[in-house]
A and B are shown apart, each in its own frame.
Chain A
């Protein structure tokens, strides 16, 4: 059993990572960051922080493993089904009423379930050829999984399919994957308009402009100061009168850009940019 980690030790860890690998975790939320580090120490039987920091300094392969475990990749298809109904019935019809093609960014897409949810929704409504999608994450390893998805069948039944049914899709979720040995191989033709790439919200900056950005359950791992910076990046990356969707328990009311957005749906956390 690992004893408590001191804040000072976490700071040192962040410094070492920043110097050697150019990732900046200084402004991640302490509560979850600390839990992830303790979890890693236990999982990989690292006796204490001094050993961890030393290994990270000297062993890039070890750091990669550490990065994988540090990020929280837990995700679902059609998480918050009622949000996806709103995307289908309000957000997308509104966007398509004035333009033929739209650009979507899934920031922090993890293993890609959110992207597949979007593509299934688009396909069922005849919009799939009218979008270009960018799906990004800081974690290379999880992006590789997103590109060639093999989802666990138990999860598929217990989480994803239940969400899909609550959302009210027109088909069956099993129309979109083939099962082999307890694993669901997703139909990758759904994502032929998706570009997957690594992107670090902390430092990579703007790379395109979008009509719809989803960044759900990513910024909850950041402190408020960093959230504020990332909100500015999203504001900059959106066309005027385009949509921004965050996690169901996130908020931007206190941030610098709050006044440049209007709330479309408070419950589902759908916002619209109305000011440059």
Chain B
């Protein structure tokens, strides 16, 4: 897909949500390493992760990241240009009033954090100003959330399945809704940087 005619209005978006599981760590590392340091939307990331490893994930991502990454506490205020990573063993939602809300609700598709929860709640608050990005993963978590995001007028990007370590997740999202773009990682980065 060519990005030339990519006519995304810079002011269109207020928030980015990213979901991924198996293999997504490398992709997210690359995105955060190459993102423009001036990127000033909040980014919510729900990535499947080991439950008992509470520490080290943020530190590992921070090594190359151009943006600050936090595992938020419950009801933390959302700020621009910060990456919010769902903590292990918690679902992460966007709460009305631009706060983070965490929850220990049942797992969804065997996952907590679940991508569905983050995508659904973010698009409930940010409506059509939500940009959703689904990365590689071996699970169908996120497909329903991506559909909710699209139903509310959000913009859906899915990682090119042939580039994915495991393409179950992007493929499920493509099946669940009419996604707007299917892109390689390098082009996902271009799209994000075009918003700055």
Contacts and interface: CB of A to CB of B under 8 A. Distances in A.
B105 A35 contact: yes
A74 B76 CA distance: 23
Interface of A: 4, 7, 29-32, 34-36, 72, 74-75, 80-82, 162-163, 166, 217, 219-221, 223-224, 227, 247-251
A36 B117 CA distance: 12
B73 A249 contact: yes
A224 B99 contact: yes
Contacts of A224: 75, 99
B87 interface: yes
A250 B96 contact: no
A151 to B, nearest CB: 16
B136 interface: no
B65 interface: no
- Interface class of chain A by DSSP: helix
Interface string B44-75: 00000000101000000000000000011111
Given A220-B74, A250-B73, A166 B103 contact: no
A31 B94 contact: yes
Contact of A220 (B52, B94, B103, B121): B103
21 contacts: A29-B101, A30-B96, A32-B105, A35-B105, A74-B104, A75-B104, A80-B54, A82-B54, A217-B104, A220-B102, A220-B103, A223-B75, A223-B95, A224-B99, A248-B87, A249-B71, A249-B74, A249-B87, A249-B102, A250-B74, A251-B75
A251 B73 contact: yes
A269 to B, nearest CB: 9
Nearest to A4: B124
B90 interface: yes
A220 B104 contact: yes
Nearest to B120: A35
B171 interface: no
B106 interface: yes
B93 interface: yes
Given A249-B73, A249-B74, A31 B104 contact: no
B123 to A, nearest CB: 10
A32 B99 contact: no
Contacts of A75: 104
